[in-house]
Chain A
Amino acid sequence: KQEVTQIPAALSVPEGENLVLNCSFTDSAIYNLQWFRQDPGKGLTSLLLIQSSQREQTSGRLNASLDKSSGRSTLYIAASQPGDSATYLCAVLQGAQKLVFGQGTRLTINP
């Protein structure tokens, strides 16, 4: 059974810092890996999607990497801003359409 783990569970940093969120998964037979953002009281928003054959994806200040063989992914956020405060979820796609989520990292950026 696939298990997805995210470390740390919570992170608080001052504005402007670069930071890394970690995600690990136990079964490397995945179709892709996604990073989502969740704001309180709202649904999930997809940030980045990395196909199993890719190593990284970038969008603005966000960069996600994937090492499928070791079962690891990282989300790098450059020059953090208070608006980046949210919970970040990592999810792997297994089978045709089944997303398996980690527990998330609750990020707080302090002004």
Chain B
Amino acid sequence: DAGVIQSPRHEVTEMGQEVTLRCKPISGHNSLFWYRQTMMRGLELLIYFNNNVPIDDSGMPEDRFSAKMPNASFSTLKIQPSEPRDSAVYFCASRDAGGPPDTQYFGPGTRLTVL
């Protein structure tokens, strides 16, 4: 298996622009997680889905952030409008509820820079 796939790997944009990050989970996994990593706050859970349904979005910083999972093999995290403080590495992870206990498999991340 190719593992969790994220695109793009790097994104540089200007303040006010819309940014869309993409994630393809491992085939067969039924849970998907979006995390954000910054120097100040470390790694934080933004939102997670079970069977394509958002379960907990309490980590989403504000209304500018939205996430969707239209099917089991694809998810997006959108920021509109983007701000410099959104600059971070965004990770996607997936998990198989029937697999090893509570192990999440992480993608390589998308490094976002908002100028």
Please list the residues of chain A having a beta carbon within 8 angstroms of any beta carbon in chain B: 31-32, 34, 41-46, 49, 51, 89, 91, 93, 95-104
Q: Give which listed residue, A43, A96, A100, contacts B109 with CB less than 8 A.
A: A43
Q: Are A32 and B107 in contact (CB under 8 A)?
A: no
**Residue from the list A41, A51, A98 in contact with B108, Cβ < 8 A:** A41
A60–B107 CA distance with the chains assembled, in angstroms: 25
Whether A99 lies near B108 (C-beta < 8 A) is: no
Provide the main secondary structure of the chain B interface. strand
* Interface residues, chain B, with chain A CB atoms under 8 Å away: 4, 31, 33, 42-45, 48, 50, 55-56, 91, 93, 95, 100-109
Indicate if the CB atoms of B103 and A46 lie closer than 8 Å. yes
9 shortest interchain CB distances as A-B pairs: A43-B106, A101-B43, A44-B106, A103-B42, A43-B108, A43-B107, A46-B103, A93-B102, A42-B108
